A and B are shown apart, each in its own frame.
Chain A
Amino acid sequence: MSDLPSQGEGRRAKPRVGLFITCLVDLMRPSVGFAAVKLLEDAGCSVEVPVQTCCGQPAYNSGDRGTSRDLAERMIEAFRGFEYVVAPSGSCAGMVRKHYPELFEDDPNWLPKANALAAKTYELTSFLVDVMGVTAVNASFDGAVTYHDSCSGLRELGVKAQPRKLLASMPGVTLVEMNDSDVCCGFGGTFAVKYSDISGAIVEAKAKNIEAAQAPTLLAGDLGCLMNMAGRLSREGKPIAVRHVAEVLAGMTDEPPIGTAKEPRSA
């Protein structure tokens, strides 16, 4: 804990945040990562991005404990020096917060380190609101949005009010709640490929609820779910813009929405 600023001299020191970028944001949509960096810096944090690969969740959920532990150990090492670790994903933050301690439960050597990382790891919007006390963001966006609560963030980390609170601070944004916003979109990682027909049926039902909300933009806090929903909406030809909530909160919506081209073509 030597990295923590001591009460007296360091009270106003900037918290040192390690950005846990997550595989999907790293590979698919880096703009979400830059939006997260902006939000964190605006909130008064200093942000660093240590070299990282994958937290091990796909292996963990496939029953491969060995690989998950290998990757988890790397994560623990990579983020050791930070005061906080923040991910633009409830699912990946949940993996560290809830599942790393389970993964090392019978390893007295690694368990304390896993617990330490778990305790300082947060999902982005909950970190901003619950830890940094952010009540408003300084960004503009015009229009109605609807918000999907991704499962892990919601049920493992209690992320529900925080993104809504931040969106409510943006005067141009109207939040229209869809029905069953807290029901799974059918992504489930490899589930979407392994049980593709079932996943397809679940996301079809989700797309109906999204459409019925009649908001031109869909937001959520997890890129996996977003890609699933965006992919379904575009397959059905529904012109709903899909974005990570961080992009809107940071006012960084120059990049085209998920699953659309830079130059919109008449598809």
Chain B
Amino acid sequence: MTVHTTSPQFKQNATRALGDAQLQKALGNVKQGFIDKRQKAAEALPEFEALRDSARDIKNHTLEHLDLYLEAYEEKVTASGGHVHFARNAEDAREIILGICREAGAKTVTKGKSMISEEIGINHHLEAHGIRPVETDLGEYIIQLRNEMPSHIIAPAVHLNATQVEQDFRRVHRHLDAKRDLSEPVQLLTEARSVLRERFLAADVGITGANFLVAETGTSIIVTNEGNGDLTQILPKTHIVLASIEKLVPTLEDVSQLLRVLARSATGQELSVYTTFSTGPRRSGDADGPENYHVVILDNGRSSMLGTSFEEMLRCIRCGACMNHCPVYHAVGGHAYGWVYPGPMGAVLTPSLIGVDKAGHLPNASTFCGRCESVCPVRIPLPKLMRHWREREFERHLTPATVRSGLNLWGFFAKRPALYRLATRAAMGAMGLAGRRHGRFAWLPMAKGWTKHRDFPAPQGETFQARWQRERKDKTA
């Protein structure tokens, strides 16, 4: 079991999102900011396309030998005095983390940004057991105050505007002067920083995610722009790294290649502001660092993707470029997808993790425009994988009955050319006649979805094949 999903209600979610004026305004920023910056960063690096190829190859190689690299990684972590825990599913991971927190006598846990922690729903679990989780990434902190999920994998609060954040801060930070000025974003940032500083110092355990786990050295790596991850993992006595199996990378050299495409694809930066390496607990002579170092490695359905066409999805380095370039994401935002991972990567990954019976809408809600694939730094063929989900749904009879019968009818005629010509000739003749006055239909009974938002242009009347036969016959006669 993982966190609750509203993916089955994707359509309703989407319609609600489309009617939410504030959200629509916020989504406008995604369109502008991320796309231009990525484009500039990619153009400024002549070897960018070649780097994408090698990023793809590094990940493919790792996935092919994942068992070996996991073993090597575990050995290195153990040798450096840390502990590796393998969690089969979300429940396992929650229990392992709760156990470590209890052992540490933890009352407060600080957290760096981690999508895996969202996937296993760790915050609620800790709260239910009397432990207070505190998100330290600004965006995560804001959505924690609002009891929401991230709407974007690298910009969790991208769906909100400053006024909303101000209201949340006033609601929650009651100990501060009610008349303080919070009209500037920088004031919000300063306030969050000062509140979080106290929490950092009080925390008994720090949980971070990982962008990469390095098999060669047993190192976990996080990239952030706020530096909150460093404080989360250095200050408390216990550091827990929470990561999924596909975060493995063989060597530090490989990581340096992946980092070059990651930040550029994500935010257009050459590198994120902080790239932090941590290897095991503090050694004697180290200036700082945790006394206890744990790594929880989550499977949660991923190993069953290995060896299938969905294995390609495990290359994902969570840069967010696919959603930044997705017209559907731009239209409805991340929450409509109804689970942890939105956008094109979510449309492929979510059915793998929670079942296509629940997440079936996601791979269908795509125009297959292909813009996601064209920017993915590890060249995941996202539309193709979405199509593979559609095929699985079709095989399992999960495709809606109306779509199925429509396809069957179309297929029936398309496989019988003579009948097809007769039928289309008659149908287009009739439609052409009916639409002759206006040249279009404002309403069509068979295509209400279409005519709800746009007119249906009328056909010219005669089919091409009919006219071709007629005219060529005239010519040769």
A is bound by B: yes
Report A's interface with B, CB cutoff 8 A: 21, 25-31, 33-34, 49, 51-54, 56, 58-65, 67, 70-71, 74, 102, 151-152, 155-156, 182-184, 186-205, 227-228, 230-232, 234-235, 255-256, 258-262, 265, 267
Given A29-B459, A202-B331, A231-B450, 17 other A-B contacts at CB below 8 A? A21-B464, A29-B460, A102-B384, A151-B371, A155-B369, A156-B370, A184-B369, A188-B366, A189-B367, A194-B403, A197-B14, A199-B367, A231-B457, A235-B455, A255-B460, A259-B457, A260-B440
Contact A231 B454 (CB under 8 A): yes
Q: Given A192-B450, A196-B449, A259-B455 in contact, is the A51-B440 Cβ separation under 8 Å?
A: no
Contact A53 B420 (CB under 8 A): yes
A-B complex: 9 closest residue pairs judged by Cβ atoms = A188-B367, A200-B453, A63-B390, A231-B454, A196-B449, A63-B394, A30-B464, A259-B457, A184-B369
A199 vs B448: C-alpha distance when bound (angstroms): 13
Pick from B63-71, B216-224, B279-287, B409-417 the stretch touching chain A. B409-417
B8 at the interface (CB under 8 A from A): no
Contact B410 A151 (CB under 8 A): no
Q: Given A193-B449, A265-B438 in contact, is the A200-B454 Cβ separation under 8 Å?
A: yes
Q: Given A186-B367, A188-B367 in contact, is the A262-B456 Cβ separation under 8 Å?
A: no
Chain A residues, CB < 8 A from B468: 30, 33, 49
Residues of B442-464 at the interface with A, using a CB-CB cut-off of 8 Å, are: 442, 447-450, 452-460, 462-464
Q: Given A28-B460, A193-B449 in contact, is the A61-B368 Cβ separation under 8 Å?
A: yes
Contact among A53, A61, A151 with B369 in the assembled complex (CB-CB below 8 Å): A151
List 18 contacting pairs A-B, 8 Å CB cutoff, sorted by A: A26-B465, A34-B467, A49-B465, A59-B411, A60-B387, A61-B387, A63-B390, A183-B371, A184-B369, A198-B14, A227-B456, A231-B440, A231-B455, A232-B454, A235-B453, A259-B455, A259-B458, A261-B439
B399 at the interface (CB under 8 A from A): yes
A152 vs B448: C-alpha distance when bound (angstroms): 26
Contact B368 A234 (CB under 8 A): no
A260 vs B399: C-alpha distance when bound (angstroms): 35
Contact B457 A227 (CB under 8 A): yes
Contact A195 B463 (CB under 8 A): no
A67 vs B460: C-alpha distance when bound (angstroms): 28
Contact A53 B413 (CB under 8 A): yes
Interface residues on B, range: 35 or more
Contact B436 A261 (CB under 8 A): yes
Q: Given A155-B370, A188-B368, A235-B454 in contact, is the A262-B439 Cβ separation under 8 Å?
A: yes
Chain B residues, CB < 8 A from A74: 415, 417
B180 at the interface (CB under 8 A from A): no
Contact B327 A26 (CB under 8 A): no
Tell me which of A182, A197, A203, A260 has the highest count of chain B C-beta atoms within 10 A of its own C-beta.
A197
Contact B414 A197 (CB under 8 A): no
Chain B residues, CB < 8 A from A30: 460, 462-464, 467-468
B55 at the interface (CB under 8 A from A): no
A35 vs B453: C-alpha distance when bound (angstroms): 30
Chain B residues, CB < 8 A from A34: 464, 467
Chain B residues, CB < 8 A from A33: 464, 468
A33 vs B471: C-alpha distance when bound (angstroms): 13
Closest residue on chain A to residue B451 by CB atoms: A231
Closest residue on chain B to residue A223 by CB atoms: B457
Chain B residues, CB < 8 A from A196: 448-450, 452-453
Q: Given A58-B407, A63-B399, A151-B368 in contact, is the A31-B460 Cβ separation under 8 Å?
A: yes
